[in-house]
């Protein structure tokens, strides 16, 4: 009898001890995570000198200040970790904590993200931001979250233009026969609608491809053209403001959830402040870069407002393709963008 009671007591005591150890271990782990310094690695293909990368430096400083130094962002620009083509897969898998990449690259994962490359859907900088704030950002962000990635901020990149080495293109017909680099599916569709051939390649490959004559030109923002020194290999620039491919600063959701509540709040507040700063400066950065490219010798043609209808007509099939491929959701997003 005593032996049975002793064994029973021993078993109960052992279970209680194990529970106590497990409980203490869990408590200790939680305590260690709270307020502990966290380093988040951020990848981007943009060069260090680009305004968006400089904005990431601001994000780094603000996050550190607001978190009392417990959130550190280590930035790896110019494709040091991942290029614009493979960065998003790494972000989803957890191969990197954070990424700054264009919506065009995200469209292979969330097809509706191509809305930013539907040509001439945004008539101005303010229209882009209003669309994001009034439903566009929420709908697309929810889709990204399903993939395990959380958008932190929408980074205004500005409008994209066309540069080439063949001629100063003033009308859609001038693109006939050219080979132009597209950065996304719908930028490629727009190039084809203008009568050119589209070649898709990573941003880091463009300079050499132009230099070697593999392609005749590219579609890109003036800030990126300047900071990647495209004026060294390009002659002509046509300003169309045909698309505004936002960049997204996103974080792997597991990386985000490793932060404690105060760290999450600090990072979110920092991101909101940087987003507001980028919006305030996007147009100014575009115009300054345009003047810089002129000063470096590029010949520039700004398509007048009264000539833009010909460009809209030529690229209208791209609108139709977007709705066809994205169905009801695609039409809803177009309505958000055109009714602001």
For the chain, 340 residues long, give each residue's pLDDT as a single digit of tens: 444 444 444 444 444 444 444 444 433 334 335 779 999 999 999 999 999 999 999 999 999 999 999 999 999 999 999 999 899 999 999 999 999 999 989 999 999 999 999 999 999 999 999 999 999 999 999 999 999 999 999 999 999 999 999 999 999 999 999 999 998 899 999 999 999 999 988 888 999 999 999 999 999 999 999 999 999 999 999 999 999 999 999 999 999 999 999 999 999 999 999 999 999 999 999 999 999 999 999 999 999 999 999 999 999 999 999 999 999 999 999 999 998 6
Rounded Cα gap, residues 242 and 283, in angstroms:
14
Q: Which CATH superfamily is domain 160-244+295-338 in?
A: Bacterial extracellular solute-binding protein, family 7 (3.40.190.170)
Helix (H) or strand (E) holding 134: none
Where exactly are the structural domains of the chain? Answer: 37-157+245-285, 160-244+295-338
CB distance 171 to 263 below 8 Å: no
Residue 282, C-beta contacts closer than 8 angstroms, at least 6 positions apart: 125, 156, 157, 158
**Does pTM top 0.85 for this prediction?**
no
> Are the CB atoms for 190 and 315 separated by under 8 Å?
yes
CATH numeric code, 37-157+245-285: 3.40.190.170
Q: CATH topology of 37-157+245-285 equal to that of 160-244+295-338?
A: yes
Residue 182's beta-bridge partner residues? 200
């Amino acid at each position: 009898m005593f032996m049975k009671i002793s064994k029973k007591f021993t078993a109960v005591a052992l279970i209680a001890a194990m529970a106590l150890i497990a409980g203490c271990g869990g408590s200790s782990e939680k305590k260690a995570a709270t307020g502990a310094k966290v380093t988040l690695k951020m990848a981007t293909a943009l060069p260090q000198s680009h305004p968006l990368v400089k904005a990431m430096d601001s994000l780094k400083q603000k996050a550190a200040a607001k978190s009392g130094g417990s959130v550190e962002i280590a930035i790896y620009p110019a494709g040091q970790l991942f290029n614009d083509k493979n960065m998003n897969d790494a972000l989803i898998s957890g191969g990197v904590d954070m990424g700054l990449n264009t919506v065009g690259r995200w469209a292979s994962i969330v097809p509706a993200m191509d809305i930013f490359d539907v040509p001439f859907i945004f008539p101005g900088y303010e229209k882009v931001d209003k669309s994001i704030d009034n439903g566009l950002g929420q709908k697309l962000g929810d889709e990204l979250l399903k993939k395990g990635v959380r958008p932190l901020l929408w980074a205004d990149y500005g409008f994209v233009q066309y540069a080439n080495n063949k001629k100063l293109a003033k009308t859609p017909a001038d693109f006939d026969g050219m080979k132009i680099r597209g950065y996304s599916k719908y930028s490629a569709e727009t190039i084809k609608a203008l009568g050119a051939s589209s070649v898709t390649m990573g941003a880091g490959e463009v300079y050499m491809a132009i230099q070697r004559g593999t392609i005749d030109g590219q579609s890109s923002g003036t800030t990126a053209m300047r900071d990647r020194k495209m004026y060294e290999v390009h002659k002509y620039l046509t300003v169309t403001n045909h698309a505004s491919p936002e960049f997204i600063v996103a974080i792997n959701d597991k990386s985000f959830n490793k932060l404690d509540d105060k760290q999450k709040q600090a990072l979110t507040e920092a991101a909101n402040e940087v987003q507001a700063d980028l919006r305030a400066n996007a147009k100014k950065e575009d115009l300054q870069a345009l003047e810089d490219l002129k000063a470096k010798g590029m010949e520039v043609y700004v398509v007048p407002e009264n000539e833009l209808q010909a460009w809209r007509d030529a690229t209208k099939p791209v609108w139709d393709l977007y709705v066809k491929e994205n169905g009801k959701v695609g039409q809803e997003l177009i309505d958000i963008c055109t009714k602001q």
